[in-house]
Amino acid sequence: MTTKSILLIEDNPSDIELTRRAFVKANILNDLVVVEDGKEALDYLFGTGKYADRDTTHMPLLVLLDLKLPVIDGLEVLRRIRENERTRYLLVVILTSSGEERDLNTGYQLGANSYIIKPVDFIRFTEAVRQLGLYWLVINEPPPNI
């Protein structure tokens, strides 16, 4: 059985690298698929655009979603994920630097499973990723057929 992937939707190269390093340090072995804007994320999930040949029966186990994305913002990505029958139950964790109450409220209203404000330093970020991995990848029982 292959390990389910994690989809990271993040446009900041430093945050992408930080997340990769944190996954290694936290011993999270799932494949990390990275897309850098909201349109690319939707193309990946729905098998359109440059991902038209992707087998969409294989969905990521977990989506880590930044909010401040180019092309299509993270809240709109979340809205479209929840509107679609195939992606409605994907586990989506908002992982963002935005602590704005409006973003937090809207994220949960649109169906985010969790909202995490990115810690600034690497040690705290690694610990947050370790705990996130432990909960969402080990302890939590995902919906069937994702």
Domain segments of the chain as ranges: 6-134
pLDDT in tens, 117-136: 887 687 888 888 888 887 88
State the CB neighbour count (10 A cutoff) for residue 138.
8
Q: Distances in Å between the alpha carbon of 60 and those of 29, 57, 100, 142?
A: 14, 10, 27, 11
Quote the Cα angle for 57-7-29, to 5°.
100
Per-residue DSSP letter, 50: G
Spatial separation of the C-alpha atoms in residues 6 and 34, rounded to whole Å: 9
pLDDT higher than 90, residue 13: yes
pTM greater than 0.75 (yes/no): yes
More confident residue, 145 or 110: 110
pLDDT tier at 145, thresholds 50, 70, 90: low
pLDDT in tens, 29-81: 899 999 999 999 999 999 999 999 999 999 999 999 999 999 999 999 999 99
What is the CATH T-level fold of the domain 6-134, as seen in this structure?
Rossmann fold (3.40.50)
Spatial separation of the C-alpha atoms in residues 45 and 103, rounded to whole Å: 23
